């Protein structure tokens, strides 16, 4: 398997992705990582081994414990590969909400013009707009 395939396979698992997020904040021991999951310690150790073998984490012995650290460079290689597909982010929520607000106001204006003048529900709608 080539390096990029190993990296992609390693990040395919949700537990391993969560471990990467945790290690992105601070180095942690295997015990500290395992304490944050409901799976067994041996299962966490297997996930850490996959991450280590893919080059995404490195470990150092500190006394009786191993401290794991995120290695960001391989993730950059995966990102570069993904960028060839021109992945575009969705519009920001603020723009989407502003567009929705504009549409609501436009619909209220149009509804107000189409209501007969003597319709009490139209007057109530205009008061709340």
pLDDT digits (tens, 9 = 90+) for 84-106: 887 566 556 667 777 777 888 78
Looking at residue 93, what is its pLDDT? 65
Residue stretches of the chain with pLDDT short of 70: 1, 87-94, 114-129
Looking at residue 109, what is its pLDDT? 82
Looking at residue 92, what is its pLDDT? 65
Q: What pTM, to 2 d.p., does this model score?
A: 0.65
Looking at residue 39, what is its pLDDT? 94
Looking at residue 99, what is its pLDDT? 76
CATH topology of domain 3-83: Arc Repressor Mutant, subunit A (1.10.10)
- Count Cβ neighbours within 10 Å for each residue of 15-54 and write b for 16 or more, e otherwise: ebeebbebbeeebbbbeebbeeeeeeeeebeebbebbbeb
Looking at residue 73, what is its pLDDT? 92
Looking at residue 1, what is its pLDDT? 61
Torsion angle of C-alpha atoms 100, 105, 106, 111, degrees rounded to 10: 130
């Amino acid at each position: 398997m080539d390096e990029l395939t190993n990296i992609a396979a390693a990040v395919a698992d949700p537990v391993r992705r969560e471990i990467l997020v945790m290690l992105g904040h601070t180095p942690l021991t295997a015990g500290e990582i395992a304490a944050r999951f409901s799976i067994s310690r041996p299962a966490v150790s297997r996930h850490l081994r996959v991450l280590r073998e893919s080059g995404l984490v490195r470990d150092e012995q500190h006394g009786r414990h191993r401290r794991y650290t995120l290695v960001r460079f391989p993730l950059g290689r995966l990102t570069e590969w993904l960028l060839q597909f021109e992945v575009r982010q969705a519009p920001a929520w603020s723009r989407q909400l502003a567009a929705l607000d504009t549409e609501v106001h436009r619909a209220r204006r149009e509804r107000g013009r189409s209501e007969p003048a003597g319709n009490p529900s139209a007057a109530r709608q205009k008061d709340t707009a």
